[in-house]
Structure formats: structure tokens, C-alpha cells
Amino acid sequence: MSAGDLGAAALRAALFLALWGTGAAAYASWRRDARALASARIAAGVGFGLVVLAAVAMMFALATHDFRILYVAENNARETPLFYSIIGLWAALEGSILLWTAILAGATAYVAFRGTAAIPRLATTALVVMFAMLTFFLLLITTPAADPFVRLALAPDNGNGPNALLQNHPLMALHPPLLYLGYVLTSVPFAYAIASLIIGEGGDRWLIATRRFALVSWALLGVGIVAGAWWSYAVLGWGGYWAWDPVENAAIMPWLTATAYLHSVMVEEKRRLLRTWNLALVIATFSLTILGTFLTRSGVVNSVHSFTQSAIGPLLLGYLVTILVLSVGLLLWRSGRLRDAGAVGAPLSREAIFLFQNVIFMVAMLTVLLGTLYPLIAEAISGAQLSIGGPYFDRVEIPLGLALLFLMGVGPQLPWHGASRATLERQFTAPLACAAGGALVAVATGTTAIGAVLTYALAAFVAATVVQEFARGIRARGVLHAEGALTAFANLFRRSGRRYGGYVVHLGIVLVALAIATSQARTVDAERTLAPGETLVIAGYAVRLDALRAVHEPQRDSVVADLEITGNGASSQLHPALVQYPSSASAVGSPGIGAGVRDDLYTILAAYDQKALSWATIRMRVIPLVSWLWLGGAVVGIGAVIAALPAPRRRIARQVPLAEAPAPAK
């Protein structure tokens, strides 16, 4: 039995188990039947094992170049290195849906075992939803729509090899799985939300139970997006990291609604408000992940990421419409039970700021959605061809981003319910002084774009509020628990990880904002055709073309320019190249990047003398602070981990009901 047969059989068995599990979990939820639940659990666990087995079988088939399988023949070649063979699992449509299904099966198993142990009725109902979704994806990959194990009658001697762009950089191993994890894990809060609506709980148990899942999926999505930006920067060879490409847009949209949700959740927890809204946000986030999958895989939009066209498009669209109709229907049906307890506080209360922040996140998402789909709609209606690209999105999204940056500084500094004038002065004096400092730094370093100056001011403002919070927290612990500053700092994370981890996330966003503003406003570039020995000068850097050479590797041929770069106290060698893979019609640029804390030196071999290698056209971009973007992404990830880690158990003494606790002596 070959790996392909094994994988195909495993998927068909998993489909049977998913169908069984859906029924068993539904019966268990309806009749509160423990045996049915036990059966559903086994189906979830074994099903997960089977899908993982299928994914491993596909990796094995790719690694052993088993060209009897169509997917392997199309996305692998004998020359493909082992590493790129294995990650070929997500190099094309069928494999990536298999990976997606494997993650979904894992999430289903988690809900089946851990979830149902914590809150049986709600989680068992959520398990029905998870199984139903899993069934859909297993149907996709066991029917011709996206079957990864389709056989060829006659195995070719060699395959086509992966898409050139997908075998040019190791980040390809990181970016898609992170994004898929983020995408798929949003299904858990969604399933709980739907379950809560189905059984008509009206409370917020679903939200508490999936808080950590929401945070983790949000963080994975965010880090996956930054990893994608990094990949784009390192591979696509134009010196940018974000092009408002339809698929980038598809990834940022659920991230925007998920970010709104992480904040409005706090309003529900602390103030018992915004119940319907939070359900709507969870539904929107999940639906947007499916919309993104649909856009990427249906060939509707043109994108770097477009997969080949297949029957999967209409199926995904049907799935999306079904989910939207059922979710919105449930929400309307149960809206009577979703009464908020009380009202939002004064305009200067934390919950009011969260509300405005939610409005801006929603507008940001809707604008991306509109801008992505509008050219399609316009062409369908009037036949007019128009483009909506970077300049449009920059003009709309940057002001929204600045408003969000401002609210990010204000919100955490305001108490719930409302703030007095004295509180405002205590919280905002130092941060505003820092904001002025930030604006002055921007002007002093020669920044002239208003957006960039504002970003610097707001970044300093937010950073100052975070530092102020840490300083106060450390001082308070010092007084209350007689801890030293370092111990107190560590204990802030240990005891109040959610709050202080959140501040770390905010610092990461500040780094990202500074990186975007600076690299957008202050990138310089120059292009010249050089003969070996000649030099191009740009922004204080001298770029000398040392040599131009041809390099042959089994899987590709390249022409490499050896550049010597000196200036601004640095000296480095960079090697931009043009790479020709047998599978692709045109050569792929492979930039030579000298990363630095201050400037990235981004060099591109734009053209060369194909006869005698006697000249090369070199383009060089000096991109300031762009590496802060990757750093900021990592800081966001670290902050999210701190926030997601469970706190140590509290001491029993604190469990005294508070009505009877003595009033603080003050």
C-alpha cells in the first residue's frame, strides 16, 4: 500500500467518523447522553489522528517524489530539496486544504476532550458545530473538488516542481501554517458562540470559555500576517512588505474584527454590556476567514496568492452563505435573551473608548472589504475597469490607524464608568509631554510627512502610558508586598498577565507603527546600470558591482551580482540574483538584503547583459526602520503569550465573598 492510498483511505475514514461524531454529539447535547458524548469523543480523537496521518502521508509522498499522485507531480520535482518538498504540503490548493482540515480536526478533538469536561452542555453543542464544519472540509478533500490524493494513470518521470516563489525562501515554512492556525482556531469561539445561541444561554460562559482561544488565534493570525509581510519583503523583490493585495486584505480583515473583539470582550466581562455585539464580532471574524479562503481559492480576484481555479469556489461560497444565514438567523431569534445589564458610562470611560475603537476597527475592515471587492462589482455592473490599490487604502486606512493609535493610548488610562478631571491630569500629563517629544524627534530627524510626525507623537504617547502603567504597578507591588523592582516586574506578568501582557502587545504595535511610518515616509531608491568595478551612490552608501556570475544548482539556474556596500560606518556584501526555475516562464528576482537596526539595504538585480555578463542594472533601496516591523510582530507575539498563560492559583483567603469583606481602611 502506497502513502497515497493510505492517505486517501485515512481521509475517507475520517469523513465517516466526522459524520458519526456530528450525530453522536447532537444526540448527546439533546438528550444529555454520556455514552453518546463518549462516542463523539472517540470519533474526534481518532478522526484527528487519521487526518494527521493523511497529512504526513502527503509529506512522505512529496519527500519521496511519488509522481503517481497528481498533486506531487504538479508541485514537486526530483530536484526539489527535501525541506521544500515537505513544506510542499501547503504549496497549492489541495494540500493547503488538507493542512487546514488537520488543524480543524485538532481543534475539534480539543473541544471534545477538554471543552466538554469543563462545561458539558455548552461544549457538547459546540462540538456539533465543530464536527459539522469538519465534515464540510473532509467532503472537500475526499471529492474531486480538492482531493489531494488524485492518482495519475501514468506517472511522469519528473514533476513540475513547486511555484518558483514558494521555493525561494525558508519563511514559506512559517507563514502559511501560522496563518492557517490563526484562521482555523477562530472556529472554536465561533462554535461556542453558536452553541450558546442554540441552547439559549444568554450569558457569557461561551466567551469566558473561549477567551484564551480567541487571544491565541488572534495572535497567530497577527504573527502569521507579519511573517507573510516579511516573506513578501524577502522574496517578491520590490522592497515593500505590504501591497494591499486581495489576499493580504483577506488576512487583515478577520484580524481587524478579532482585535475589536478582544477589547469589547472586556466590556462584556467587566460591565455585562455589548452581548449581541460580541456575538456578531465572533461571527464576523469567522465568516471573514472563510471569505478569505474563498477569495484566495476561487480565482475571483487576481493576486500573487491565487491558486488554480477549481470547483472549490462555489462550494466555499455556499458554505459561507450557509454560515452567515444560520448565524444571523440564530442571533436574531435569540436577541430577546441578550439583554445588556446597564449602560455604557460617560464619554471618557474605558468602555466608551472601547466602543469608539470598535467603530473604527469595523470601518477599517469594511473599507478593506469594499476596496477589495469594488473593482469586481464595478466590472460586473458597468463593465468599467478600475483599480483600487495602495494609494487608496493608504489614504483611508492611515487616518483610521492613527485614530486607533490614539485610542490605544487613551483607553487603558481611563477607569470604567467615567473619569474625573483629576484622573485625567494624573494619567495624561506625562504621556502628552512624551508625545510632544516624539513629534520633535520626528521633525529633528527630517521627517516631513504629517502622517509620520503624528505617528511618532502617538507612538511616544502610547509608549509613555505603558511605561507609566508598569512604573505604577511596580511601585504598588513594592509598597503592598515589599518586593524589589525586578521581582515586582516579573510578578506583574505572573499575577496580572492578561493586563500587562496586553501592554506588551501595545508596545509591539507601537514598534510596528514606527516601522511603517518611517519606511513609508523615508525610503529612498536609486537605479543604475553598472559595469563591474563601477559604483552607485545613494543616501551616503556606495554600492560597487564587484562581479556578475552565473550559478548552476540542480533545481535552478541563477545570475548573481556581487555587491560591496560601504558608507555610514558600515560595510557589507550583498548578492541580489535573478533565478530561473525550469517550471516558471520568467526569472524570479531574489533581492540581496542587508538588514540593520536603522537602515535595511535592499538591492535588486533588475537586468543584466545576457551575452557576456558585462553589465548589470542594480536597484537599491535604503529602507529605514523596516526591521522594527518584524521585531514589533515578535513583541506582539510575546505579549500575547504572557496574556494567554494561566495565572498561578490564588490564595484561598481572597475567596471570601466581598459583600462581607471589610471596607479598605482609607
Partner 1 sequence: MTARIVIAAALLAIAATLVLAARPHEATADERVDRITAELRCPVCQGLSVKDSPSETARQMRDLVAERVREGKTDAEIEAEFRTAYGDWVLLSPPIASWSGLVWLAPLAAVAAGVVLATGRVRGGAAVASAEPSAAERAALRERVAREEAAEG
Show contacts with partner 1 in window 369-428 (CB under 8 A): 370-371, 374, 378, 384-392, 395-396, 400, 416-426, 428
Q: Does 527 bind partner 1 (CB under 8 A)?
A: yes
**440/570 with CB nearer partner 1:** 440
Chain-centroid distance, C-alpha 625: 21
Could you say which of 604, 623, 626, 640 contacts partner 1 (CB under 8 A)?
604
User: Shortest Cβ distance from residue 173 to partner 1 (Å)?
Assistant: 23
Residues that bind partner 1 (rule: CB under 8 A) add up to a total of: 95
Q: Which of 383, 533, 554, 664 binds partner 1 (CB under 8 A)?
A: 664
What is the distance between the alpha carbons of residues 251 and 182, in angstroms, rounded to a whole number? 10
Which residues within the stretch 532-571 sit at the binding site for partner 1 (CB under 8 A)?
none
Q: Tell me the window of 117-125, 137-145, 168-176, 363-371 that interacts with partner 1 (CB under 8 A).
A: 363-371
152 close to 76: Cβ distance less than 8 angstroms = no
Is 174 a binding residue for partner 1 by CB under 8 A? The answer is no
By CB under 8 A, tell whether 663 contacts partner 1.
yes
**Site membership for partner 1, residue 133 (CB under 8 A):** no
Among 450, 476, 485, 537, binds partner 1 (CB under 8 A): 450
Q: What secondary structure letter does DSSP report for 144?
A: T
436 near partner 1, rule: CB under 8 A: yes
Could you tell me how far CA 559 lies from the centroid of its own chain? 34
- Closer to partner 1 by Cβ: residue 582 or 648: 648
Regarding 280 and contact with partner 1 (CB under 8 A), the answer is no
Sign of CA dihedral 474, 475, 476, 478: positive
CB of 125 to partner 1, least distance (A): 25
CA distances from 292 to 153, 183, 306, 356, 372 (A): 34, 9, 11, 26, 11
347 counts as binding partner 1 under rule CB under 8 A: yes
> Is the torsion defined by CA of 534, 536, 540, 542 positive or negative?
negative
Read off the amino acid at residue 455.
T
Stretch that binds partner 1, among 10-18, 316-324, 510-518, 645-653 (CB under 8 A): 645-653
Q: CB neighbours of 146 closer than 8 A, spacing ≥ 6? A: 93, 94, 97, 140, 310, 312
How far apart are CB 130 and partner 1 at their closest, in Å?
A: 26
Q: How far is the CB of 513 from partner 1 (least distance, A)?
A: 16
Q: Please report which helix (H) or strand (E) contains residue 619, including its range.
A: strand 616-624
Q: What residues between 210 and 229 interact with partner 1 by CB under 8 A?
A: none
We find the least distance from the C-beta atom of residue 514 to partner 1, in angstroms, to be: 16
Burial 289-327 (b: 16+ CB within 10 A, else e): bbbbbbbbbbebbebebbbeebebbebbeebbeebbebb
Whole-number minimum distance, CB 96 to partner 1, in Å? 19
Within 13 Å of residue 221, how many CA atoms lie on the same side as its CB? Answer: 29
Site for partner 1 in 486-515 (CB under 8 A): 495-499
What gap in Å lies between CA 275 and CA 264, rounded to an integer?
Answer: 9
Spatial strand order of the sheet with 616-624 comes to 524-530, 616-624, 599-608, 592-594
Among 110, 238, 489, 615, binds partner 1 (CB under 8 A): 238
**Minimum CB distance to partner 1, residue 602 (Å):** 11
How many of the other CB atoms lie within 10 Å of CB of 535? 14
Which residue(s) pair with 589 in the sheet?
578
Minimum distance from residue 492 beta carbon to partner 1 (Å): 10
Task: Indicate the SS3 state at residue 404.
Answer: helix
Q: Is 448 in the site for partner 1 (CB under 8 A)?
A: yes
13 binds partner 1 (CB under 8 A): no
User: Mask: binding to partner 1, 246-275, rule CB under 8 A, as x and -?
Assistant: x----------------------xx-----
Per-position b or e across 150-175, b if 16+ CB within 10 A of its CB? eeeeebeeebbbbbbbbbbbebbbbb
State which of residues 344, 398, 467, 613 lies at the interface with partner 1 (CB under 8 A).
344
Closer residue to partner 1 in complex, CB, 533/646 = 646
474 is a site residue for partner 1 (CB under 8 A): no
Beta carbons of 584 and 164 less than 8 angstroms apart: yes
Report which of 131, 151, 122 is spatially closest to residue 43, judged by C-alpha positions.
Answer: 131
Q: Smaller CB distance to partner 1: residue 192 or 244?
A: 244
Q: Binder to partner 1 among 244, 307, 319, 493 (CB under 8 A)?
A: 244
3-state secondary structure of 453: helix
Question: Which C-beta is closer to partner 1: that of 148 or that of 451?
Answer: 451
343 binds partner 1 per the rule CB under 8 A: yes
Q: Which of 650, 652, 653, 665 binds partner 1 (CB under 8 A)?
A: 650
Binding residue (CB under 8 A) for partner 1 from 79, 147, 245, 599: 245
Site for partner 1 (CB under 8 A): which residue of 37, 619, 622, 644? Answer: 619
CA distance 286 to 192: 12
- Cα separation, 633 vs 617, in Å, equals 34
362 binds partner 1 (CB under 8 A): yes
**What is the three-class DSSP state of 604?**
strand
